[in-house]
Amino acid sequence: MTGFGGATVRENGVSVFAEIKTVNNRYLKFSLRTTDGYGVLEPVIENLVRETLRRGTVTMNVRVLREDDAADYEINELLLTRYLQQLRRLNAKLGLDDSFSPTQLLTLPGVTKGSIPSDDKTCLVRPAVEMAVKKALTELQTMRQNEGASMITDLCENNRLLIELIGKVVLRVPEVAEQYRLRLNERIGKIMAEQNLPLDSSDLIREIALFVDRSDISEETVRFKSHTAQFNAALWEEIPKDGCGRRLDFLTQEMFREVNTIGSKANDAEITKLVVELKIVIERIREMVQNVE
């Protein structure tokens, strides 16, 4: 499901800004950007995310800002010496005063540079990073849960449509057998009359029985109803630790399998129309449950 979460944590001279967003995906795809020098914390951040999320394309950005410290900067003494040599030669040539402000020298390009945080300093900011990531994940989950509540309503309505449609299929089955009997009786009766032969009712009954047996979809409809009942129960039962998304996905696949079999066996235009409607609803459900954890 889609969602966004953000958090800021400030402690011990460190500010951590964490932002996370997700979009729909059947699997979990995670990408992370962190401030230079804090890559060692990326596995820690990824583990926190994977403990919370199981599906979705997840993008996270974690920025770490520390208060300036003299130890964080280095002076390039060799470069500064060369600057001084050139300045003194120029001053001697132009007859200028040979005095320079340290502040002016430090602003010259390349004289000072920020150092990459050491492992010790990185470990010091780890608690703040973990706290910011957890807060961002909590905000994200709240947003996703609100979306999930709306999704449950939609899934329940679509499941109700499936139950209604399969009920129409079941009611149609006896009519299919009766219509086949009438058509068969009419065709065979016409042929037998043309040949001036008697119509053997036992042959007719046997042929009808074979047709009914070939087109019997009672097992498929029973299993389909069982899948819809399990689907509905999974929506409202207490969510297990590993989530219910894959279970719902599996039930949806099984529904589609049963509907395909019904369509191939029914041999009836009306049931074929109902099968098409069933597939449309199942596909709608399938797209939604692929985003459920």
Band (218; pLDDT cuts 50, 70, 90): confident
Number of domains in the chain: 3
Domain that holds residue 103: 77-110
What mean pLDDT is reported for the chain? 79
pLDDT at 186 (0 to 100): 60
- Please tell me whether residues 169 and 216 are part of one structural domain: yes
Mean pLDDT is highest, among 57-66, 150-159, 262-271, 273-282, for 273-282
For residue 115, tell me if it sits in a domain.
Answer: no
Q: How far from the centroid of its chain's Cα atoms is residue 155's Cα?
A: 16
Average pLDDT over residues 173-185: 65
Q: Which pLDDT score is estimated for 191? A: 54
> Does 137 fall in a domain?
yes
Q: How many helices (H) and strands (E) does the chain have?
A: 8, 6
> Residues 151, 49: one domain?
no
User: Per-residue pLDDT tens for 86-118?
Assistant: 877 777 777 666 666 666 676 677 666 655 455
62 and 84 both lie in a single domain = no
Asked which of 110, 129, 163 is the last residue of a domain, the reply is 110
The distance from CA 222 to its chain's CA centroid, rounded to whole angstroms, is: 31
22 and 129 part of one domain: yes
CA gap 55, 45 in Å, rounded:
16
| pTM, to two decimals | 0.59
Task: Please tell me the distance from the alpha carbon of residue 278 to that of residue 161, in angstroms, as a whole number.
Answer: 8
Q: Whole-angstrom Cα distance, residue 281 to residue 132?
A: 41
If asked whether residues 131 and 250 sit together in one domain, one would say no
Residue 77, judged by CB atoms within 10 A of its CB (0-12, 13-18, 19+), counts as exposed
When mean pLDDT is compared across 147-151, 152-156, 191-195, 246-250, the lowest value belongs to 191-195
Asked whether residue 132 falls in the same domain as residue 218, the answer is: no
Reply yes or no on whether the pLDDT at 242 is more than 70: no
Please name the helix (run of DSSP H) or strand (run of DSSP E) that holds residue 52, with its range, or none.
helix 42-52
128 belongs to a structural domain: yes
